[in-house]
Structure 1
Amino acid sequence: MKRAGRLLLPFLTVAWLATAAVACRSSEPAPAAGAGGAGLAAPDKKELAQELVSSAENSTLDWRGQYGYVEDIGDGQGYTAGIIGFCTGTHDLLTLVEHYTKAHPDNGLARYLPALREVDGTDSHAGLDPGFPAAWKAEAKVAAFRAAQDEERDRTYFDPAVRRAERDGLGTLGQFIYYDAMVMHGPGTGPDGFYGLRTRAMKEADTPAEGGDETAYLDIFLDGRRALMKSQRAHRDTSRLDTAQRRFLYDGNLSLRTPLTWRVYGETYRVG
């Protein structure tokens, strides 16, 4: 359950959207994603996925530079930190530190575990200030903690999203659309979570696995996600959908071929 990004700029109306034609926290158990290295789990596509997410979450393509990021962005989720925006208020940061501490009990964040358990589910900093941000940044210099962030990202977000998309018959773009939704909204089954979004989309359109059109289904999914984001103060800038994911979809780029150009929060990014 994540932030919309460090910058929240007004929604940008884009001319091509008006004329483009469409030719598209409890989690569901899932095994490891990307059998055979296909789709988004292929190394080059997984790297691209991290860059796309980082452009929206951190306003940079340099996702590896975000291990030490920590900030309270005022979205009601406490501190947001690390490569995928783990939050003190949404359980994933607590889970990360617990897993890391089992393997590395003397790490610099272990002393904050009691406070992290107390504030879980709230925006409170009780027991975390003033030292937690500095401790996070210091620990992010340790290779084992960076690896732990990668592993928690994959276990909680990337692998479940890709596997679910594969089961729904979606290609690489659809897998990324699921992943980005999982990152921002969390793998919840309620109306504000990823699985809630998927359930609503499936009421309006069949997935490719059900015989539906992939582009039409993804278009409906993005419609639902955009409506949800607009209802949330911290997520009202929907450019990560409107001038990125929807653009790829309307271009017919279901395999996320590079080169890619997209815009988030008014900034243009290019890969390939």
Structure 2
Amino acid sequence: MKTKLLPLAAALALALTGCSGPGPGAPEKGLDDPAKKDIAMRLVSSAENSTLDWEAQYGYIEDIGDGRGYTAGVIGFCSGTGDMLKVVERYTDARPGNALERFLPALRAVVGGDSHEGLGDAFAEAWARVADDPAFRRAQDAERDETYFDPAVSRAEADGLSALGQFVYYDAFVMHGYADAKGTVGFRTIRAEAVEAADPPSRGGDEEAYLDAFLDARVRAIRQEPSHSDASRVETAQRVFVHEGRLQLETPLVWKVYGESFRIDGP
């Protein structure tokens, strides 16, 4: 009997391992899982850099004309919002005398606006030149996690959200910041509007309904910013995942953002 059952068992095992989602009874994983976090980074990179290769973006830098000065690095740190300054300060703490240190006074002076004064091509070239320095990469990773990723995931977990909901919060943190700023609507206000419209799972609500409400609020926030009026980052990407029920970010993930198509087949 055992010799007849072994091929069937093997076939079942192969069938099960071919599924991308968790099997029955398997524990759900949040974005603190390395594979899920990598998917989140690729999703953000598709919107920020038009590529899934987020690890190639440490040296990226340009002014995209959104009123925030230079945008650079793995999640689009901005000279005008102050997180770029924090990256360079972290880098200088770890690597005194680095090529970006001399720009610290200028970076402090341009926070709150879109000025390039004291920066310019020399700064952009220096940023790109140090992109392969492990200390510079660690500085970007640390600022990303401390200011955006960790707070977003923590708030999402408190709201009872799955991996998809955690990503939805994280991407909102990246694009909008936590608090409202002049001419912008931050994550805090977006979430407050969502909670008014639907209960999160932590209050007994349906997760998909709540995420739809959150994305509705986010679209309104995007459309209040002239430089961010295109809401495809939500409507043809995150909203698609919600309606497909991919609450664990189960692959394959297929989406469009800013007119470009992307696909993730696995970790």
Equivalent residue in structure 2 for 1:243, among 236, 247, 266: 236
Equivalent residue in structure 1 for 2:82, among 79, 91, 113: 91
Distance 1:53 1:151 in 2: 17
Q: Which residue of 1 aligns with 2:156?
A: 165
Q: How far 1:142 moved relative to its partner?
A: 1.0
Q: How far 1:211 moved relative to its partner?
A: 1.2
Between 1 and 2, higher relative CO (CA 8 Å, sep ≥ 6) is seen in 1
Q: Given that residues 28 and 248 in structure 2 are in contact (C-alpha distance below 8 angstroms), is that contact kept between their aligned partners in structure 1? A: no
Q: Given that residues 185 and 192 in structure 1 are in contact (C-alpha distance below 8 angstroms), is that contact kept between their aligned partners in structure 2? A: yes
Equivalent residue in structure 2 for 1:200, among 182, 193, 198: 193
Q: Which residue of 1 aligns with 2:220?
A: 227
AA of the residue aligned to 2:229: R
Q: Which residue of 2 aligns with 1:127?
A: 118
Q: Can you give the 5+ residue segments of structure 1 that lack an aligned partner in the other structure?
A: 1-35
Equivalent residue in structure 2 for 1:146, among 137, 141, 157: 137
SS of alignment partner, residue 261 of structure 2: strand
Q: Which residue of 1 aligns with 2:170?
A: 179
Q: Which residue of 2 aligns with 1:3?
A: none
Q: Given that residues 69 and 80 in structure 2 are in contact (C-alpha distance below 8 angstroms), is that contact kept between their aligned partners in structure 1? A: yes
Q: Which residue of 1 aligns with 2:105?
A: 114
Distance 1:230 1:193 in 2: 13
Q: Given that residues 37 and 43 in structure 1 are in contact (C-alpha distance below 8 angstroms), is that contact kept between their aligned partners in structure 2? A: no
Q: Which residue of 2 aligns with 1:78?
A: 69
AA of the residue aligned to 1:129: G
Q: Does 1:105 align with 2:105?
A: no
Change (3 A) 1:100 1:37: farther
Q: How far 1:141 moved relative to its partner?
A: 2.1
Distance 1:105 1:116 in 2: 17
Equivalent residue in structure 1 for 2:128, among 106, 113, 137: 137
Quick one: percent identity of the two aligned structures? 59
Distance 1:216 1:146 in 2: 38
Equivalent residue in structure 2 for 1:67, among 55, 58, 63: 58
AA of the residue aligned to 1:201: A
SS of alignment partner, residue 94 of structure 1: helix
Equivalent residue in structure 1 for 2:43, among 35, 52, 59: 52
Using the size of structure 1 for normalisation, the TM-score is 0.84
SS of alignment partner, residue 161 of structure 2: coil
Distance 2:32 2:97 in 1: 33
CA RMSD of aligned residues (A): 1.4
SS of alignment partner, residue 39 of structure 1: coil
SS of alignment partner, residue 154 of structure 2: helix
Distance 2:149 2:119 in 1: 28
Q: Can you give the 5+ residue segments of structure 2 that lack an aligned partner in the other structure?
A: 1-26
Runs of 4 or more, structure 1, over 3 Å off, are none
Q: Given that residues 42 and 52 in structure 2 are in contact (C-alpha distance below 8 angstroms), is that contact kept between their aligned partners in structure 1? A: yes
Using the size of structure 2 for normalisation, the TM-score is 0.86
